[in-house]
Amino acid sequence: MVVIMKPKTSEKDVQKMISYVKDMGLDVMINKGVDCTVLGLLGDTSRIDPDTLMLNVHVDRVMRIAEPFKKASRKFHPDDTVVKVGNVEIGKEGNFTVIAGPCSVESEAQIIEVAEDVKKSGAKLLRGGAYKPRTSPYSFQGLELEGIALLKEAKEKTGLPIVTEIMSPNLVETFVDNVDIIQVGARNMQNFDLLKELGKTTKPILLKRGLSSTIEEWLMSAEYILAGGNPNVILCERGIRTFETYTRNTLDLSAIPAVKRLSHLPVVVDPSHSAGMSWMVEPLSMAAMAVGADGLIIEVHNCPEKALCDGAQSLNPKQFDSLMKKMKGIGANIEKKI
Amino acid sequence: MVVIMKPKTSEKDVQKMISYVKDMGLDVMINKGVDCTVLGLLGDTSRIDPDTLMLNVHVDRVMRIAEPFKKASRKFHPDDTVVKVGNVEIGKEGNFTVIAGPCSVESEAQIIEVAEDVKKSGAKLLRGGAYKPRTSPYSFQGLELEGIALLKEAKEKTGLPIVTEIMSPNLVETFVDNVDIIQVGARNMQNFDLLKELGKTTKPILLKRGLSSTIEEWLMSAEYILAGGNPNVILCERGIRTFETYTRNTLDLSAIPAVKRLSHLPVVVDPSHSAGMSWMVEPLSMAAMAVGADGLIIEVHNCPEKALCDGAQSLNPKQFDSLMKKMKGIGANIEKKI
Amino acid sequence: MVVIMKPKTSEKDVQKMISYVKDMGLDVMINKGVDCTVLGLLGDTSRIDPDTLMLNVHVDRVMRIAEPFKKASRKFHPDDTVVKVGNVEIGKEGNFTVIAGPCSVESEAQIIEVAEDVKKSGAKLLRGGAYKPRTSPYSFQGLELEGIALLKEAKEKTGLPIVTEIMSPNLVETFVDNVDIIQVGARNMQNFDLLKELGKTTKPILLKRGLSSTIEEWLMSAEYILAGGNPNVILCERGIRTFETYTRNTLDLSAIPAVKRLSHLPVVVDPSHSAGMSWMVEPLSMAAMAVGADGLIIEVHNCPEKALCDGAQSLNPKQFDSLMKKMKGIGANIEKKI
Amino acid sequence: MVVIMKPKTSEKDVQKMISYVKDMGLDVMINKGVDCTVLGLLGDTSRIDPDTLMLNVHVDRVMRIAEPFKKASRKFHPDDTVVKVGNVEIGKEGNFTVIAGPCSVESEAQIIEVAEDVKKSGAKLLRGGAYKPRTSPYSFQGLELEGIALLKEAKEKTGLPIVTEIMSPNLVETFVDNVDIIQVGARNMQNFDLLKELGKTTKPILLKRGLSSTIEEWLMSAEYILAGGNPNVILCERGIRTFETYTRNTLDLSAIPAVKRLSHLPVVVDPSHSAGMSWMVEPLSMAAMAVGADGLIIEVHNCPEKALCDGAQSLNPKQFDSLMKKMKGIGANIEKKI
């Protein structure tokens, strides 16, 4: 951590600041510049709040040097984390894992049919929403527990492990008992109470990036889960809010190589929600693979025209199958196996 | 709702779309343009998801005309809502309500001293954080239940009603029993499970705007609470995320007249968190009053140099007193009474 | 164009508005809804300013239905535009055109060496900055006319056509006489006087997207050039400003399929400036190809360690060669020939 | 400037970096931390490009400590700059200068009538657009030279100095000869060629903030003009682009106290363009005064219903007069004289 003192701060006031910092158990290096003095704080600064140092009226700015995340950082954990779900290994070098399924679970027939279809095309896990975060209180909120029961049926029939979204800390136990990967949605990325509860389990967590979160904030949310004792975090880029209005959100594919460099956690891409238009899923999926993601989570619906929600962004099974074939082609070229 | 068909859609396909919409119980007006046909959907469109209509391959775009919020809208509720807390009336014409207190409750001495100080200067309610949303799992997370107990002591001593933040649906009952206004923080603005629980109570809710939320999304979150049966919602503008890095966030003062026009709910401003610097609190508070807010929520600390968190943005009691005097001056000029 | 009247507007006031619109030579369809009346304006609305209609106090909102760009739109020009530069055809189906070269032209030796290197690896055009837009007046501003002379020398030696950036309408003639593609930088995307001058030429223009421009604004800037009579516009996505601070900008790869659908113009990607880090150029280039771009413009420097500017984002010739080989591999798979 | 070396960089590589920096004429302080070594660069770092240092593979990050603007900075110029135009002193303590007039100059009758009206209400300068930056090539582009001639007539009749926008470096001489304050619009804030030309004059320049510019970038653009030798720069906040769609832009009033602290230059606010709605001009103007601006630039139109452009955001003379009266009331309270 670096503390920049204001220009013309007296020697006495600089010394006071130094004593204050040393009292926190840190060492201090003093850099006397032309305009101002800069203090280098040496030691474990991860628990020091820069705002507290800003209270000293002689402090101009405080800059953090070390990343505030330790457990999520590749610096202290150089090897890739591989999250195992059944015999699927997400994040393993050379693997490209595709999770597919409908936005919402709607009926037994629907979820089983989709599960069978996506399995045939090469998907390794089944997704489906049982609890739905909706901007409007008047929109369909999901089948809830019944939706989870239907997902389990589909798992029994197909063997595909299931992924579904949690919205409340009250449901952590239910989810741990019934699903294979618990998804945390973009709007709950900083629902810290929920993250703490999930940190107490060892269930794999798919942590979506918040709509306007930085990569650092995203990794800090992963850090909440890791710090609680659960090492099984999969990151998921799903589009950020920008000024563009043509697409619903803007898929940030450059976040993938950034996250792979900063962290050892696997990262997958959701090409369906970000654009909000089914015809964009194919090019974005191809790009996600080429940019280095560890997998995809794609919406597939057996009858998009009647979907209760979000149909506009879903592929039908035939489109999904065609996409999978194309991706296998590219994958062969860059050593990624679907 | 307006549905724009793609150019060159056949008459037959337009008719199919019209039947589809009529099956939903809506009337349709047909506008044949030069390039394309536009359908005007007449009736209660609030439950129709534009994305569902987009599934029809002949649909180019769907535009909502009616606001998606009904209970929060001034259109159907022209009179200002006044939220009563003890004998304080927030949102009443001519009133300007100041809520003040420390960022975090730290000790009995601290909270009582601050409470007495801010009361003397004219604050009508006491704020103080017991549960703190922190980006880092390693930062101080608040005194929790003990913090609430200390706030109640301060209320007993001073008579000031208390405002504090909730983070989990599990704690709604505790908060209803012990605090006077329940604050929902920016990060939980779309924690829909929490909003639903709060909608079941009648306790006043201070709903902060999300960091990158639009005004419509903010009002939709208010709608969740109102739709649940709780009419006592106070909106709070606390700064939005922009590209500016000099200030922590950018206080959106133009949101105040916008919200006052769109909605009947009272709206207050938090000038402390947005800027993150105590010297900015005064000009932003003056501007908030001048722009038409119903009040302020300000951080005041009796000894900022030792604050456990967020001290950089807190005023000390003397600065707060000076600010209150200046605001009374302006207030006299524009018929706002503190 | 759709005009939404305010709820409770009297029949008389609706009729007045209708007369006003008819006086502009448009037809009007009337949609009487439950809450309000909606007018559909039929005819050529491209010259009507929505703000003018908003002046009527009974108007609630005005929404544009037709795209405001005509010449750039694929609706009226379904076939892909192919821009020819020498024997290079940018935008032709199956082609993937790579433009490469240093950020700034620095010396004869430098530019010729780089030109020869990138040609060997498969680049079809040479880029190099002679006039540099710099945030600080104290930074290196480019070799200017001398830089252009050096680019021409490199062209003579290698046969590669040259691409360089213009910053002032005063220099249009010079650029037309000396370079093969004139680049308009992100900061000048809405320098309308410059765009008008370029519209009077027939020289190919590489139009970069503004840092926080929407796709519509970008296409409207292309429209300025097209409307002036110059059909040779190549769009270039180079990253947008987001809240992310880890990368300099965020490359918006989802803009590529969006632009290809909305417009017939070719679109290339700049993977060097957006990230600002050379190690990101490879994954972003691969993703740009996979997502459907017509080519790339990449910075390559023969000795990045000594570059006068922007070296951090440049590849060296060896890295560039390795990237080109990998892209040829993927290209073979998706029918894109470098 | 602070250079953070990567963890585990060898002593030899650290020494190499130190030599490299010393060769640039700088001194270096070495801070050996637990994880990494941090170098403090001492001396004039304003000409050093952080990106150049990033080229060294052992460098993790580079952080600038000194502000990159020197002439615009209050650090080296503590007293407020006062820009004199005739006998108007903009930026003088206690002054609050109102500039008013129509968006576009349309006719002799229009501009003279508006000029007389706004003068009566207390405006000190007349604004009016002759050259208009328009997103669409098909929109009205202004009366150009004729517009300037009409502004001069209005000045003769009323004595009000005139303010109008320039868009091209070709017109600097014309503007210097004919207008009193030259306005640089938001879209040209980083039109560096234009800024350089304006820096060669001594004419007062009203420099609007770019739509998504940071305060630092805005001050760097002012620096271009100041560095050229022209000290007469007035900054103008006119709203930034945010995710909000209800208002056209979001007026950033918190930028006012920030800029007043960072710089000695006067700063005025444009409350008309940012919101784009005339009913918002009054509350935003009041807030701008309360937050500490040195003045306002407001659109006033004598017959908004027929305006050729931007009428929706203009006040009529009666509304303007009423606003001026209210502002005089508040001004009396906070020692700002209109």
Kindly report the number of other CB atoms within 10 A of residue A229's CB atom: 10
Nearest-CA distance A159 → chain B (Å):
31
Return the residue of C nearest to A328 by Cα: C333
Which of C246, C284, C290 comes nearest A286 by C-beta?
A: C290
Q: Are residues A65 and D65, on separate chains, in Cβ contact within 8 Å?
A: no
Q: Looking at the predicted structure, is the pLDDT value of residue D110 above 70?
A: yes
Q: Looking at the predicted structure, is the pLDDT value of residue A47 above 80?
A: no
User: Is the Cα dihedral B2, B7, B13, B15 positive or negative?
Assistant: positive
Burial B67-80 (b: 16+ CB within 10 A, else e): bbbbbbbbbebeee
- Cβ–Cβ contact B257 with D under 8 A: yes
Q: Which C residues 94-133 touch D at CB under 8 Å?
A: 133
Q: How far apart are CA C238 and CA C249, in angstroms?
A: 8
Q: Looking at the predicted structure, is the pLDDT value of residue B129 above 90?
A: yes
Kindly report the number of other CB atoms within 10 A of residue B109's CB atom: 10
Which of A140-149, A287-296, C27-36, C281-290 is the least confident region?
Answer: C27-36
pTM of the model: 0.93
Q: Looking at the predicted structure, is the pLDDT value of residue A304 above 70?
A: no
- Cβ–Cβ contact D149 with C under 8 A: no
Contact yes or no for D161/D151 (Cβ under 8 A) = no
Distances (CA, A) of A300 to A106, A323, C257: 13, 11, 20
Chains linked to D by 3 or more Cβ pairs within 8 Å = A, B, C
Which of D7, D38, D61 comes nearest A40 by C-beta?
A: D38
Chains linked to B by 3 or more Cβ pairs within 8 Å = A, C, D
Which residues from C are below 8 Å from B32, CB to CB? 29, 42
Distances (CA, A) of C151 to A265, B329, C122, C142, C144: 45, 67, 18, 13, 11
For chains B and D, count residue pairs whose Cβ atoms are closer than 8 Å: 126
Nearest-CA distance A317 → chain C (Å):
21
Nearest-CA distance D268 → chain B (Å):
15
Contact yes or no for C67/C1 (Cβ under 8 A) = no
Nearest-CA distance B314 → chain D (Å):
17
Q: Average pLDDT, stretch A208-214?
A: 96
Q: Looking at the predicted structure, is the pLDDT value of residue B307 above 60?
A: no
Between D240 and B312, name the one with better pLDDT: D240
Which residues from B are below 8 Å from D255, CB to CB? 244, 250
Between C64 and B87, name the one with better pLDDT: B87
- Cβ–Cβ contact A170 with C under 8 A: no
Tokens of B105: 């409750």
pLDDT at C94: 96
Return the residue of D nearest to A6 by Cα: D75
Nearest-CA distance C96 → chain D (Å):
29
The tens digit of pLDDT for each residue in D61-71 reads 888 877 889 89
Q: How far apart are CA A33 and CA C95, in angstroms?
A: 55
- Cβ–Cβ contact C217 with D under 8 A: yes
For chains B and C, count residue pairs whose Cβ atoms are closer than 8 Å: 63
The tens digit of pLDDT for each residue in A219-235 reads 999 999 999 999 999 99
B33 DSSP 8-state letter: -
- Cβ–Cβ contact B241 with C under 8 A: yes
Nearest-CA distance C268 → chain A (Å):
15
C44, amino acid identity: D
Q: How far apart are CA D167 and CA D139, in angstroms?
A: 16
Chains linked to C by 3 or more Cβ pairs within 8 Å = A, B, D
pLDDT at A238: 96
- Cβ–Cβ contact B217 with D under 8 A: no
Q: Are residues B251 and D253, on separate chains, in Cβ contact within 8 Å?
A: yes
Return the residue of C nearest to A292 by Cα: C283
Which of A74-83, B60-69, B129-138, C70-79 is the least confident region?
Answer: B60-69
A27, amino acid identity: D
- Cβ–Cβ contact A335 with B under 8 A: no
Which residues from D are below 8 Å from C187, CB to CB? 190-192
- Cβ–Cβ contact A319 with C under 8 A: no
Residue from C193, C246, C315, C316 whose CB has the most chain D CBs within 10 Å, to mutate: C193
The tens digit of pLDDT for each residue in B205-264 reads 999 999 999 999 999 999 999 999 999 999 999 999 999 988 889 999 999 999 999 999
Q: Are residues A31 and D44, on separate chains, in Cβ contact within 8 Å?
A: no
Kindly report the number of other CB atoms within 10 A of residue B173's CB atom: 11
Element (H, E) at A148: helix A145-158
Nearest-CA distance D304 → chain C (Å):
7
- Cβ–Cβ contact D243 with A under 8 A: yes
- Cβ–Cβ contact C156 with B under 8 A: no
- Cβ–Cβ contact C329 with A under 8 A: yes
pLDDT at A275: 78
Q: Looking at the predicted structure, is the pLDDT value of residue B268 above 60?
A: yes
Element (H, E) at B210: none
- Residue A153 confidence class, pLDDT cut points 50, 70, 90: very high
Which of A52-61, A300-309, D186-195, D276-285 is the least confident region?
Answer: A300-309
Which residues from A are below 8 Å from B191, CB to CB? 167, 187-188, 191
Q: Which B residues 46-85 touch A at CB under 8 Å?
A: 46-47, 49, 51-52, 54-56, 68
Contact yes or no for B166/B172 (Cβ under 8 A) = yes
Return the residue of D nearest to A64 by Cα: D63
Q: Are residues C52 and D220, on separate chains, in Cβ contact within 8 Å?
A: no
Q: Are residues B31 and C32, on separate chains, in Cβ contact within 8 Å?
A: no
Q: How far apart are CA A263 and CA A76, in angstroms?
A: 9
Q: Are residues C168 and D169, on separate chains, in Cβ contact within 8 Å?
A: yes
Tokens of B68: 């998606």
- Can you state the angle between helices A255-262 and A281-291, rounded to 10 degrees? 30
The tens digit of pLDDT for each residue in D71-107 reads 999 988 999 999 999 999 999 999 999 999 999 999 9
- Cβ–Cβ contact D211 with B under 8 A: no
Nearest-CA distance B274 → chain D (Å):
9
Q: Are residues B251 and D250, on separate chains, in Cβ contact within 8 Å?
A: no
Spatial CA neighbour of B255 closest among D287, D315, A214, A210: D287
Residue from A6, A48, A49, A240 whose CB has the most chain B CBs within 10 Å, to mutate: A49
Which residues from A are below 8 Å from D35, CB to CB? 66, 75
Which of A145-159, B113-127, D5-19, D216-230 is the least confident region?
Answer: D5-19
The tens digit of pLDDT for each residue in D40-49 reads 888 877 777 7
pLDDT at A189: 97
Q: Are residues A169 and B167, on separate chains, in Cβ contact within 8 Å?
A: no
SS3 sequence of C218-282: HHHHHHHHHHHCCCCEEEEECCECCCCCCCCCECCCCHHHHHHHHECCCEEECHHHHHCCHHHHH
Q: Are residues B52 and A133, on separate chains, in Cβ contact within 8 Å?
A: no
Q: How far apart are CA A312 and CA B26, in angstroms?
A: 21
Tokens of A30: 């003093």
pLDDT at B255: 97
Query: Tokens 């030798």 label which residue?
Result: D229
pLDDT at B112: 97
Q: How far apart are CA D251 and CA D237, in angstroms?
A: 7
Tokens of B312: 């950089």
